[in-house]
């Protein structure tokens, strides 16, 4: 017969597991996950608070290992939390709203993520681990970036960097922050400043394949923004050779990006068409809506030569999911396509759409405060 464990001892074990997750010690965190998963079944008496804590840390672990992003698991551990148990415990409440916000972010519901993050922020004083505070501010900055609220994004990212710099072994997370700061400069058309930030971060990123690949992808997006498509192609292609990037969710997006810039240069590029279908299939398999729409619009524009009805239906999918930033970006690309075809009325229509939803995002962002 298996020996029982008290809620207090199990809680202490979960604290150790949580510390490994926060410090991004993946292998040790995995060992704790297996051990604690067995201990939960040996709890000598039911304790809803400890079980809620376990469920939240389990979800935090799944985020660390990208199981949630890869759609390998459903948020059952979040659903198992008794929300009433979190109300009277500041740390549990913080974790509940922070984890719920991250799930919304991975589902592409950025406004919803921010609403949950802002509730979590009210509980931040209950978080005593500076690394976890830094991670929270990074996530807030990342979410504001996704809705074009750059002033707030920069503020939170700089707070995250300050906290990460106080800890040891967080260079990679600092690089993630710097990547977003450079991306903001790209979006503001401050290309020279963005280039300096990217190249400086890239020089420090070699020991970290995941972030190295993300920086190369970001440099590719920077070149797309400047319409330097050949240079963008080189960066996207290089990113796919780094580590396991080609097998990741971000790698699917990179494949879609690479196919897009190749087809924009040569619509008859057979390798680009094959890569586009690969990205589309991968995105469909994990229901990655944004990437699916990007692939469909690339196909409609450069392979099927601008089928209006397909463009309209795909853009509508973005609006239904409140992907306003992505809508604006793709509407701008469509406008550029029609401009090159000398179809100026269509180009003007889509450029108006792009500007409207970019402005709309800024208004929505203000409402989050």
What is the predicted pLDDT for the residue at 10?
Answer: 87
To the nearest whole percent, how much of the chain has pLDDT over 70?
90
Q: For residues 51 and 43, give the distance between their C-alpha atoms in angstroms, rounded to a whole number.
A: 10
To the nearest whole percent, how much of the chain has pLDDT over 90?
57
What is the predicted pLDDT for the residue at 366?
Answer: 42
Which pLDDT band, with edges at 50, 70 and 90, does 368 fall under? very low
CB within 8 Å of 104: residues ≥ 6 apart: 110, 112, 113, 116
Does the pLDDT of residue 1 top 50, yes or no? Answer: no
Query: Which of the given ranges, 76-90, 98-112, 235-249, has the highest pLDDT on average?
Result: 235-249
What is the predicted pLDDT for the residue at 88?
Answer: 58
What is the predicted pLDDT for the residue at 156?
Answer: 97
pLDDT in tens, 250-289: 999 999 999 999 999 999 999 999 999 999 999 999 888 9
pLDDT in tens, 285-332: 988 899 999 999 999 999 987 677 889 999 999 998 888 888 999 999
* Count of positions (residues) in the chain: 369
Higher pLDDT, 154 or 358: 154
Instruction: Say how many C-beta atoms besides its own lie within 10 A of residue 167's C-beta.
Output: 15
- Rounded to an integer, the average pLDDT of 73-92 is 67
What is the predicted pLDDT for the residue at 67?
Answer: 57
- Rounded to an integer, the average pLDDT of 171-193 is 95
Token couple for 22: 């926060």
pLDDT in tens, 149-172: 999 999 999 999 999 998 877 899
Q: Would you state the torsion angle of the CA atoms of residues 295, 242, 146, 344, taken in this order, to the nearest 10 degrees?
A: -40
- Rounded to an integer, the average pLDDT of 183-196 is 94
Average pLDDT of the chain? 88
CA atoms within 13 A on the CB side of 82: 10
What is the predicted pLDDT for the residue at 15?
Answer: 87
What is the predicted pLDDT for the residue at 115?
Answer: 94
- Rounded to an integer, the average pLDDT of 80-90 is 65
Does the pLDDT of residue 2 top 70, yes or no? Answer: no
Which pLDDT band, with edges at 50, 70 and 90, does 365 fall under? very low
Place of tokens 């074009």: 148
Query: Which of the given ranges, 89-103, 163-177, 339-353, has the highest pLDDT on average?
Result: 339-353
Which pLDDT band, with edges at 50, 70 and 90, does 52 fall under? confident
């Amino acid at each position: 017969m298996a020996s029982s464990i008290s809620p207090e001892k199990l809680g202490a074990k979960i604290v150790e597991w949580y510390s490994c997750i926060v410090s991004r010690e993946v292998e040790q965190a995995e060992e704790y996950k297996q051990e604690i998963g067995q201990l939960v079944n040996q709890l000598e008496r039911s304790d809803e608070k400890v079980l809620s804590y376990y469920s939240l840390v389990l979800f935090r672990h799944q985020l660390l290992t990208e199981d949630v992003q890869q759609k390998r698991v459903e948020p059952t551990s979040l659903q198992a939390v008794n929300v009433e148990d979190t109300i009277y415990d500041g740390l549990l409440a913080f974790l509940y709203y922070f984890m719920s916000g991250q799930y919304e972010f991975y589902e592409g519901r950025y406004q919803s993520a921010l609403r949950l993050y802002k509730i979590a922020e009210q509980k931040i004083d209950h978080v005593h681990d500076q690394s976890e505070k830094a991670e929270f501010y990074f996530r807030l900055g990342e979410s504001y970036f996704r809705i074009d609220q750059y002033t707030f994004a920069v503020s939170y990212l700089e707070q995250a960097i300050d906290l990460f710099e106080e800890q040891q072994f967080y260079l990679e997370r600092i690089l993630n922050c710097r990547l977003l700061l450079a991306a903001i400069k790209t979006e503001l058309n401050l290309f020279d400043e963005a280039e300096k930030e990217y190249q400086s971060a890239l020089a420090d990123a070699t020991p970290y394949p995941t972030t190295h690949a993300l920086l190369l992808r970001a440099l590719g997006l920077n070149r797309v923004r400047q319409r330097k498509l050949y240079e963008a192609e080189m960066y996207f292609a290089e990113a796919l050779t780094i580590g396991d990037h080609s097998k990741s969710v971000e790698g699917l997006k990179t494949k879609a990006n690479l196919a897009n810039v190749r087809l924009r240069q040569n619509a008859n590029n057979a390798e680009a068409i094959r890569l586009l279908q690969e990205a589309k299939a991968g995105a469909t398999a994990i229901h990655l809506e944004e990437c699916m729409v990007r692939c469909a619009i690339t196909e409609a524009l450069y392979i099927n030569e601008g089928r209006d009805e397909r463009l309209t239906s795909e853009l509508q999918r973005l609006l239904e999911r409140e992907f306003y930033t992505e809508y604006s970006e793709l509407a701008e690309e469509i406008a550029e396509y029609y401009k090159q075809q000398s179809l100026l009325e269509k180009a003007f229509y889509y450029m108006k759409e792009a500007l409207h939803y970019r402005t709309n995002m800024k208004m929505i962002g203000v409402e989050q405060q």
